[in-house]
């Protein structure tokens, strides 16, 4: 029998729904700006130029803001799912991975990438070369860990197959992009990013619809 949750039990779920809304808006903002710049930056070949190249030059500040917004989305999703999960099924690992991904992404936005042609990498380019892969790795591993935790939580169990399958696809696509150097660098990277954005958008939507407490007591 499902028990009616008390106002105290509803409060963390309401907070989680608010975090889901914030994350969803941030993901939309990043998607809109990143997509718009593919048409505005006529000086770059979108098939060959990775997204980091768009941080330098015209409209670079727009993309920096979008990166920071996406970092907020990552941290918010991690905290939101952690707070709303059943106490015995909270994933500290996914929370930490999302926070690592968020911090690395914020650093990536502020550290200017190397576009080639220089004799030696600048300090900022060296930082970018470390933080960008760390952002991808932390995010995709966080997606895997968070998706795996869905399987045992009645609030999101029905989303497990889609979430985990998409997370596995993004993780595999990331390694294909990293190891298969003959692929067009811009296109392969943006395909990975598109998959990640899809997962984040879905996860934010699910968090926005977090049901109230009391579900664990109905499971026998």
Over 90: is that where the pLDDT of 91 sits?
A: no
Token digits of residue 13: 């779920």
User: What's the start-to-end Cα distance of the chain, in Å?
Assistant: 10
Task: Look at residue 169 in the predicted model and tell me its pLDDT.
Answer: 98
Q: What is the mean pLDDT of residues 103-114?
A: 89
Q: pLDDT band at 118, cuts 50/70/90?
A: low
Q: pLDDT band at 215, cuts 50/70/90?
A: very low
Alpha carbon distance 216, 220 (integer Å): 8
Q: What is the mean pLDDT of residues 48-70?
A: 95
Task: Look at residue 116 in the predicted model and tell me its pLDDT.
Answer: 60
pTM for this structure? Answer: 0.90
Residue with tokens 């879905």: 202
**Each residue of 20-43: pLDDT tens digit?**
999 999 999 999 999 999 999 999
Task: Look at residue 41 in the predicted model and tell me its pLDDT.
Answer: 95
Alpha carbon distance 88, 55 (integer Å): 42
Over 60: is that where the pLDDT of 192 sits?
A: yes
Q: pLDDT band at 219, cuts 50/70/90?
A: very low
Q: pLDDT band at 184, cuts 50/70/90?
A: very high
Q: How many CB atoms lie within 10 A of CB 43?
A: 9
- State the average pLDDT for the chain: 89
Residue with tokens 């995709």: 140
What DSSP designation does 115 have?
-
**CA distances from residue 31 to 35, 115, 130, 198 in whole angstroms, order as listed:** 6, 23, 23, 10
Domain map (residue ranges) of the chain: 7-114+121-213
Q: pLDDT band at 125, cuts 50/70/90?
A: confident
Task: Look at residue 10 in the predicted model and tell me its pLDDT.
Answer: 57
Q: pLDDT band at 216, cuts 50/70/90?
A: very low
Task: Look at residue 3 in the predicted model and tell me its pLDDT.
Answer: 38
Over 70: is that where the pLDDT of 49 sits?
A: yes
200 vs 11, higher pLDDT: 200
């Amino acid at each position: 029998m499902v028990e009616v949750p008390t106002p105290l039990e509803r409060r963390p779920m309401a907070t989680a729904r608010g975090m889901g809304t914030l994350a969803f808006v941030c993901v939309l903002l990043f998607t809109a700006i990143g997509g718009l710049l593919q048409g505005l930056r006529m000086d770059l070949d979108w098939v060959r130029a990775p997204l980091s190249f768009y941080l330098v030059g015209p409209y670079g500040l727009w993309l920096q803001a979008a990166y920071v917004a996406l970092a907020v989305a990552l941290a918010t999703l991690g905290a939101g799912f952690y707070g709303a999960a059943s106490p015995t099924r909270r994933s500290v690992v996914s929370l930490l991975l999302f926070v690592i991904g968020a911090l690395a992404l914020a650093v990536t936005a502020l550290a200017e990438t190397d576009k080639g042609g220089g004799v030696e990498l600048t300090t900022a380019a060296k930082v970018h070369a470390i933080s960008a892969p760390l952002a991808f790795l932390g995010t995709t591993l966080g997606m895997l860990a968070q998706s795996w935790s869905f399987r045992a939580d009645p609030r999101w169990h029905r989303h497990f197959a889609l979430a985990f399958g998409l997370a596995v696809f993004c993780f595999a696509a990331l390694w294909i992009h990293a190891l298969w150097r003959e692929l067009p660098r811009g296109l392969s990277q943006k395909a990975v990013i598109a998959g990640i954005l899809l997962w984040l958008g879905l996860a934010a939507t699910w968090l926005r619809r977090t049901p109230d407490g009391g579900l664990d007591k109905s499971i026998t």
